[in-house]
Structure 1
């Protein structure tokens, strides 16, 4: 885990670029607390902060070789193989750090080097001879990278606050992205703007580099976005055997040798499999799970304890309740970068806080398995009915009847003029495999923005690197090769391939293999109503503040009515509508945004 940043602005002198480098590093220090560095060339700033995991004593950035200066965030898991190949070509290495392979690869292969890297990464490579800057992002989208392009100015950073500091202009909201946030809990699902340097964010003019893409910026030229190193689906006659022959070695190769590591264990199939394989490769470990402080239907503690016991793991139980919300949520929102209204955000923040307090800079998680292997009920429902409209509605946490009615008339009119086309499967009727089209949509759009970005930012907030075995190239290639009939059984069983492999090889106890899927999260109505409804009272105070009315985004009377209706009916959908507005309002206060 590190953080990267940079700015191209020919109008700025060295002193100003150095000052901006220091400021960006301070804003990114939590994600790289062990040191920072930056380099300034003519009109160019590139830099980063470091969380020392690979070769802690010597692996300091930047890596400079063959006319390239490289900063990167993440881990290159196939670095040992790449080092051997490069050493045979005469490259000499000074450290054991995985990132040292990147500069010689770029010198030999250009942007095609991205296709040789297997890992999670956001790379910034500056070529001294041409002055060209190249950014690349891993294929799954584990490591985020925000960018802006404004005339001859271009900037990038691993987190939005640092990028906004480099850009230095007022924050204006992207109305379409705001609407997508309310619809889908995070701003994803748009067809990218023609000629834009990436996918839109909630800030107008700021984009995220799409997963598996490269962005090249030459002096005086416009950014050029290209696909970089896609991994083709890999069909298997026996996918269970293919997964069993692949996943254990990949997990073993992700265990750090220089620092301690742990696992995140919900008690579900995915995290249990990762915990089991990590234990078999490296011995018993410590696992962390989240437990609601008050009774909840979402409490998975018995299963987490079972998975820990069969693996000889020490289980740390992180207890979270609604009373934590007023204290913690502002810090959570600040760490998220973009608003994300998944109810898991508070518990995830607390979990990684406990991970770091216990001395672990690396945590393995079971994220992304549901997207790859068909784990969501909405996939099963879509496969059965073919109703992509119902699938779209399942992605939303807010009742449709409330969604548009919350806007002021002016905001609604503005939104109608700036809507982007949808990229979801409901926008392309007649797909032969609607559930398969939905899975591809989620892997490309929802997983990086809604899920992986959240995990990355909330772990980085506590100087923890979250490693995601199900996002390894080999696993994603296998998962993407499976048709819906191989993921979802005729009886409605989900994640058939993973469950069968786990059963064959005892990756999980029978009680976990046979249990229904349950989200590693909290009921929002519990969050808002448990422990004396402290969170709800605070939410009401925030959402009825006069500043909300002054922004003229939402009708104050409709917001009041929403709060009253939730208190009366206490449904999960209404709770989510309140939560989404609360998260957004805190973000608007922190960024100074609000105008459309």
Structure 2
């Protein structure tokens, strides 16, 4: 398995090609090579599997005409080699690469349909000056391409095209809309990057001086449809024939000079692969023994205590293979998912339908410590109706043939169908609000795509399976497989996608696929006696996935922070208020939205940050924790107020507070630390000596310690709050009453009549050109209510808070303790405590034990010198003079 890159056209160069190739080192850490000829450059990264000592690429025929870069494995290469040798072709390596190269030299593009395997390749014909790209029948291996001006670039990964410097990044907004609305994430040729396409399964592209041409090199889709019409009888002999074919498909995919293992989820498909390999080991098959060794390595993701844990089924397979298996289990957690999320999204390059492939990502990370090749069960669901919706397709097909057959099949499938509908039924019984995903999107952006549709075959089972094999379902699963394996320099092999095995299944009657409520019937029959009954007769499919709902609930703070962020708000794609409202409802269980919807929104936002947003240097660098005698970043210690006073503000860093924090002890310990640092610094100590000074404290931490801060999901927002908040300008970072949460707190604190009265006064004030009438009428306590703020430290990033209770009394109490503890040299200069509500929009003194004009203290914070995000400085010592 490898990575390929290349270009055709005058814009290419060696430095560009090498930059593209370097992006894919994980796909091929064992070697690299480049080739240049006229308008063409080809690059290759090698992961050595077969003929490790030879087979380096690019590889050129002895006559110098054809040069190949190739990513994949062709499993019938020995048969093709023998055929070519009979035609007089000589070989200098034992690699399948050389067979593919000479097959093309002998038969041209017709050679591709003779290959049985997986590949993405490029072949340069120096005589005809023609470049040919090709992708295998099922699209197991990727080929991405882009026309950039007069130059054509291609690669195994999108990141390499981005690294070319020729492609101008842009979002494919139609694809994005279809993903958000219909959950489509592998949409034919188009990717999420405008102008970057993929070769489709079974497709080839040629490019030369006359232009480009794309066309299928195979009739496999048509052949499957033709075979489906044959409806050969299904019986025990057909099941035995399928079993023999599947075993041979597995055995062929064990050809390797490096260790081979098995991905084992506990489902029917991967379990079948594992027990077949075990059977081959028992039979003494030399190919298997050389590749697997004395014991088969299996790799599984398990989730103890979760609803979708499959460890019991994994263990059942391991028990059958006892003595010949070395099992490896990973136990992914929500916290690990959060830590890996950025790399996971970068690995996949395009948004995914769910977080499920993260389980596979973790499995591959473990597997690479033990093996280089991994077999798994991808593809079986799409050819043997492994998903519940296929039952409905089959029932409609039977209904068209006669009501009796459909009724009989329905009666034996009720338990399966119930599992699909039970959650929707529960939501209806609980009267949960139904929120369409379109309500969460920016209507201005979405409106041009309102007529988009995603039609699927609904009444012909085999035609639906063909559709899902080549377009709707399998392509995305193969993308996950390729990206996750190659991220960790592994080769993934999928024996169920042996094209001859697939053809055989489609030649059988539909009863080989579904009968009496049992899907994958031919596979179940073929593995009876090999697999435990608990797996062979199992009807509740789960597969390689994660406990997404449980994880999202645990990570709700993080998710809410993403949806609250300024970048999310500024995207043209989302309606932030609706998303926040929906997410709150999901957390409370009041709406019927599933976690998949929120995953898509989150995935798009993080994907945009990764591939389109410019990195923020401040975020990339690890900030140094400042001392109490230094200003916050981009702030100043000193300020001259509008009244002409010279003041110095020392921001004091603290730990985070919660409702159980002892505020008095917390403040006095922080002040003690300040004076300890001050006495060790003569310059600053002299600056404070004999001066008047104050303690300024953020109203936010007082409110939190008083229990007046509330997680947004604990605030029961009523209809009046939702309506009124829409008429308030939503200020940056959640300040004010522009969100339903803060408005609800205002109503609870002041009462709905007072809020309505102030709202009316505010409206009159606007007409008269007088600003701030609302807050004058409703009171300063309401002005101090703040909502969740993106840049605040936890819990303020997911909370809304009221103004503190009795702030004057709090100030007096703190002042009394500070006077008792301040060093004698500075005690006389202490003038009191100020409770300050300050932000980048305005300042407001909420409490103080100092008489006089409070606007004087507001002037001292004109530039908002504190920071309650990563700075964690909610306190300040302010020196006057």
Same fold (TM over 0.5): yes
Which of residues 561, 569, 573 is equivalent to 1:541?
A: 561
- Looking at structure 2, the residues matched to 167 and 221 of structure 1 have their Cα atoms a distance apart, in angstroms, of 22
1:73 to 1:178, Cα distance in 2 relative to 1, 3 A: same
Secondary structure of the structure 1 residue equivalent to 2:309: coil
Greater mean deviation of Cα atoms: 438-447 or 148-157: 148-157
- Looking at structure 2, the residues matched to 171 and 511 of structure 1 have their Cα atoms a distance apart, in angstroms, of 50
Alignment check: 8 A CA contact 1:189 1:423 kept: no
- Looking at structure 2, the residues matched to 593 and 449 of structure 1 have their Cα atoms a distance apart, in angstroms, of 28
Which of residues 327, 349, 352 is equivalent to 2:361?
A: 349
Could you report, residue by residue, the CA deviation over 1:322-375 in whole angstroms, capped at 9, with x for unpaired residues? Answer: 111211111111011211132312111111000002x21100101111111111
Which of residues 521, 530, 546 is equivalent to 1:507?
A: 530
Which of residues 306, 323, 335 is equivalent to 2:316?
A: 306
Alpha-carbon offset, residue 229 of structure 1 = 5.8
Which of residues 212, 218, 240 is equivalent to 1:228?
A: 218
The equivalent of 2:146 in structure 1 is: 148
Larger radius of gyration: 2
Secondary structure of the structure 1 residue equivalent to 2:391: helix
Secondary structure of the structure 1 residue equivalent to 2:211: coil
Alignment check: 8 A CA contact 1:240 1:501 kept: yes
Which of residues 70, 90, 93 is equivalent to 1:92?
A: 90
Residue 554 (1) aligns with residue 581 (2): no
The equivalent of 1:493 in structure 2 is: 518
Greater mean deviation of Cα atoms: 172-181 or 138-147: 172-181
Alignment check: 8 A CA contact 1:411 1:553 kept: yes
1:11 to 1:576, Cα distance in 2 relative to 1, 3 A: closer
Q: Pairwise mapping of residues 310-459 of structure 1 onto structure 2 (< 5 A)?
A: 310-312=320-322, 313-357=325-369, 359-385=370-396, 401-416=435-450, 419=452, 422=454, 424-425=456-457, 433-459=459-485
- Looking at structure 2, the residues matched to 484 and 571 of structure 1 have their Cα atoms a distance apart, in angstroms, of 39
Question: What are the ranges of 5 or more consecutive residues in structure 1 without an aligned counterpart?
Answer: 191-198, 427-432
The equivalent of 2:193 in structure 1 is: 203
Alpha-carbon offset, residue 43 of structure 1 = 2.1
Alignment check: 8 A CA contact 2:245 2:501 kept: yes
The equivalent of 1:122 in structure 2 is: 120
1:157 to 1:11, Cα distance in 2 relative to 1, 3 A: closer
Secondary structure of the structure 1 residue equivalent to 2:171: coil
Alpha-carbon offset, residue 226 of structure 1 = 3.1
1:576 to 1:11, Cα distance in 2 relative to 1, 3 A: closer
Alignment check: 8 A CA contact 1:298 1:518 kept: no
Alignment check: 8 A CA contact 2:203 2:214 kept: no
1:32 to 1:175, Cα distance in 2 relative to 1, 3 A: same
Alpha-carbon offset, residue 548 of structure 1 = 1.4
Alpha-carbon offset, residue 466 of structure 1 = 0.7
1:448 to 1:110, Cα distance in 2 relative to 1, 3 A: farther
Could you report, residue by residue, the CA deviation over 1:529-549 in whole angstroms, capped at 9, with x for unpaired residues? Answer: 3xxx1x222222222211112
Could you report, residue by residue, the CA deviation over 1:177-206 in whole angstroms, capped at 9, with x for unpaired residues? Answer: 11222245442356xxxxxxxx11111111
- Looking at structure 2, the residues matched to 573 and 120 of structure 1 have their Cα atoms a distance apart, in angstroms, of 38
- Looking at structure 2, the residues matched to 135 and 517 of structure 1 have their Cα atoms a distance apart, in angstroms, of 41
Which of residues 610, 622, 634 is equivalent to 1:590?
A: 610
1:253 to 1:11, Cα distance in 2 relative to 1, 3 A: closer
Residue 297 (1) aligns with residue 307 (2): yes
The equivalent of 1:528 in structure 2 is: 552
The equivalent of 2:763 in structure 1 is: none
The equivalent of 2:253 in structure 1 is: 254
The equivalent of 1:173 in structure 2 is: 171
Residue 18 (1) aligns with residue 36 (2): no
1:287 to 1:168, Cα distance in 2 relative to 1, 3 A: same
- Looking at structure 1, the residues matched to 215 and 153 of structure 2 have their Cα atoms a distance apart, in angstroms, of 14
Could you report, residue by residue, the CA deviation over 1:100-120 in whole angstroms, capped at 9, with x for unpaired residues? Answer: 112211112111110111101
Could you report, residue by residue, the CA deviation over 1:20-55 in whole angstroms, capped at 9, with x for unpaired residues? Answer: 111111111111111111212222111111111111
Secondary structure of the structure 2 residue equivalent to 1:163: helix
- Looking at structure 2, the residues matched to 158 and 173 of structure 1 have their Cα atoms a distance apart, in angstroms, of 20
Alignment check: 8 A CA contact 2:174 2:449 kept: yes
Secondary structure of the structure 1 residue equivalent to 2:467: helix
Could you report, residue by residue, the CA deviation over 1:296-322 in whole angstroms, capped at 9, with x for unpaired residues? Answer: 121110110110121232211110111
- Looking at structure 2, the residues matched to 88 and 543 of structure 1 have their Cα atoms a distance apart, in angstroms, of 64
- Looking at structure 2, the residues matched to 215 and 77 of structure 1 have their Cα atoms a distance apart, in angstroms, of 23
1:307 to 1:495, Cα distance in 2 relative to 1, 3 A: same
Could you report, residue by residue, the CA deviation over 1:114-169 in whole angstroms, capped at 9, with x for unpaired residues? Answer: 01111011111111111111111111111111112245321211111112223633
Question: What are the ranges of 5 or more consecutive residues in structure 2 without an aligned counterpart?
Answer: 281-287, 290-294, 401-416, 425-432, 615-881
The equivalent of 1:576 in structure 2 is: 596
- Looking at structure 2, the residues matched to 483 and 172 of structure 1 have their Cα atoms a distance apart, in angstroms, of 47
The equivalent of 2:277 in structure 1 is: 278
The equivalent of 2:411 in structure 1 is: none
The equivalent of 2:50 in structure 1 is: 54
- Looking at structure 2, the residues matched to 338 and 74 of structure 1 have their Cα atoms a distance apart, in angstroms, of 22
- Looking at structure 2, the residues matched to 422 and 371 of structure 1 have their Cα atoms a distance apart, in angstroms, of 18
1:32 to 1:297, Cα distance in 2 relative to 1, 3 A: same
Secondary structure of the structure 1 residue equivalent to 2:164: helix
Alignment check: 8 A CA contact 1:525 1:571 kept: no
- Looking at structure 1, the residues matched to 590 and 184 of structure 2 have their Cα atoms a distance apart, in angstroms, of 23
The equivalent of 1:429 in structure 2 is: none
Alpha-carbon offset, residue 480 of structure 1 = 2.7
Alpha-carbon offset, residue 562 of structure 1 = 2.2
- Looking at structure 2, the residues matched to 19 and 248 of structure 1 have their Cα atoms a distance apart, in angstroms, of 46
Alpha-carbon offset, residue 385 of structure 1 = 4.2
- Looking at structure 2, the residues matched to 106 and 555 of structure 1 have their Cα atoms a distance apart, in angstroms, of 53
Secondary structure of the structure 1 residue equivalent to 2:368: helix
TM-score using structure 2 length = 0.61
Alignment check: 8 A CA contact 1:186 1:450 kept: no
- Looking at structure 2, the residues matched to 551 and 502 of structure 1 have their Cα atoms a distance apart, in angstroms, of 51
- Looking at structure 2, the residues matched to 226 and 471 of structure 1 have their Cα atoms a distance apart, in angstroms, of 18
The equivalent of 1:430 in structure 2 is: none
The equivalent of 2:206 in structure 1 is: 216
- Looking at structure 2, the residues matched to 244 and 486 of structure 1 have their Cα atoms a distance apart, in angstroms, of 13
Alpha-carbon offset, residue 439 of structure 1 = 1.1
Alpha-carbon offset, residue 242 of structure 1 = 2.3
1:512 to 1:153, Cα distance in 2 relative to 1, 3 A: same
Alpha-carbon offset, residue 572 of structure 1 = 8.4
The equivalent of 1:194 in structure 2 is: none
The equivalent of 1:473 in structure 2 is: 499
Alpha-carbon offset, residue 423 of structure 1 = 5.5
Alignment check: 8 A CA contact 1:423 1:441 kept: no
TM-score using structure 1 length = 0.89
Alignment check: 8 A CA contact 1:145 1:159 kept: yes
Q: How many corresponding residue pairs?
A: 560
